[in-house]
Amino acid sequence: MRAALAATTLLLALTALAACGATPQTTLEPTTEAARQARDLMVFVFWAAAVVFVIVESALVYILIRFRRRPGDGLPAQTHGHTALEIAWTIPPTILIGVIAALTIPVIFANAQPAGADAMRVRAIGHQWWFEFDYPELGVVTANELHLPVDRSVELQLESDDVLHSFWVPRLRGKLDMVPGRVNRFTIRPEVTGTFQGQCAEFCGTAHALMKFTVVVETQAEFDAWAAAQLAERTPPSSELARAGEEAMAAGGCVACHAIRGTDAAGVLGPDLTHVASRAHIASGILANTPDNMRRWLQDPQGVKPGNLMTIPELTDDQLDALTAYMQGLT
């Protein structure tokens, strides 16, 4: 009992402390209306719960101390119940629950509002273990890095190619599952530019922990420039090494799984690599996109991300150098 109280005090102190550290996936620093509403509800219910907690637990401790057995205690008064009391103490919890429900319900419906006709539509498709993002209106297809213009509603159409996944960017919105055979829709209206971290939240197999993505919110002009660049075919290799890399794509079997527009590579099992160098991360958010990391990935994808579906024959050092150079050129 006392331990619980001490632990609670500790908890509150530590929460304050934690707020200072970097928590890129925190739900407490929302940047959209929807995430703010969830945060506000959470904070309200937390404090309501904290009040209940303090009252009930201190009453419990008080009773234990006040009525502990003392030497010479006789038989205490044998009370059996009290109807008025029973009725009375259903009232406060009922009222509290009523208030929480009354605050909750409008948010549920607000969150379910369909996006307006002017909203941009993006398909987000979960794959074991990476995210595909398609912009049907723009013709852009990319992976693991979702670009959105600021101050414009986006209707995300969530789908899955295999098992359940869940789309979650805590600072933008609560999660919604990607269910094979269904299409879930929700709207995000980013208000702040910047990069936001997201992660698959539904267990989806071995590499579930390593299935992440980022959302880049940028100005409309930046977004338009990005989209135009993504639409272009791949940048042709500019060095001898990179050219060798493009040739190694076929030898290495990469073309079976990856698409690179402007080449023969048209696989769909893995992410579209046409502009892989434009992305800040590879392997769905777990590695910074540096030449070293790229080489590491190509050398041993199973070591970097156990269980993932990129299985390739072992590549020679020459092939690795060439492919790395080629990938780095796909801006």
Residues found near ligand HEC in the complex (CB under 6 A): 129-130, 143-144, 207, 252-254, 256-258, 269-271, 273, 276, 279, 282-284, 298, 305, 308-312, 323, 327
Residue 204 binds to Cu ion (criterion: CB under 5 A)? yes
Distance CA 224, CA 138 (A): 10
Angle at Cα 171 formed by Cα 169 and Cα 176, nearest 5°? 40
Q: How far is the CB of 77 from other proteins (least distance, A)?
A: 6
Angle at 221 between CA 218 and CA 224, to 5 degrees: 90
Distance CA 254, CA 256 (A): 5
Q: Residue 39 or residue 295: which is nearer to ligand HEC going by CB?
A: 295
- For 160, the 3-state DSSP assignment is strand
Contact 279, 264 (CB under 8 A): no
- DSSP β-bridge partners for residue 156: 122, 186
Q: Mark 142-181 with x for binding to other proteins (rule: CB under 8 A) and - for no binding.
A: ----------------x---xxx-x-x-x--xxxxx-xxx
By CB under 8 A, what part of segment 225-284 binds other proteins? none
Residues 208-227 that bind Cu ion (CB under 5 A): 208, 211
User: Segment contacting Cu ion (CB under 5 A): 12-20, 140-148, 202-210, 266-274?
Assistant: 202-210
State the Cα–Cα distance between residues 132 and 126, nearest whole angstrom. 6
CA angle 298, 304, 310 (to 5 degrees): 55
Find which of ligand HEC, Cu ion, other proteins, none residue 312 binds, CB within 5 to 8 Å per kind.
ligand HEC
- From Cu ion, ligand HEC, other proteins, none, which one binds at residue 276 (CB under 5 to 8 Å depending on kind)? ligand HEC
Query: Least separation, in Å, of the C-beta of 167 and ligand HEC?
Result: 16
Residue 152 vs 261, nearer CB to ligand HEC: 261
Alpha helices (runs of H) in 75-195, residue ranges in sequence order: 83-88, 91-111
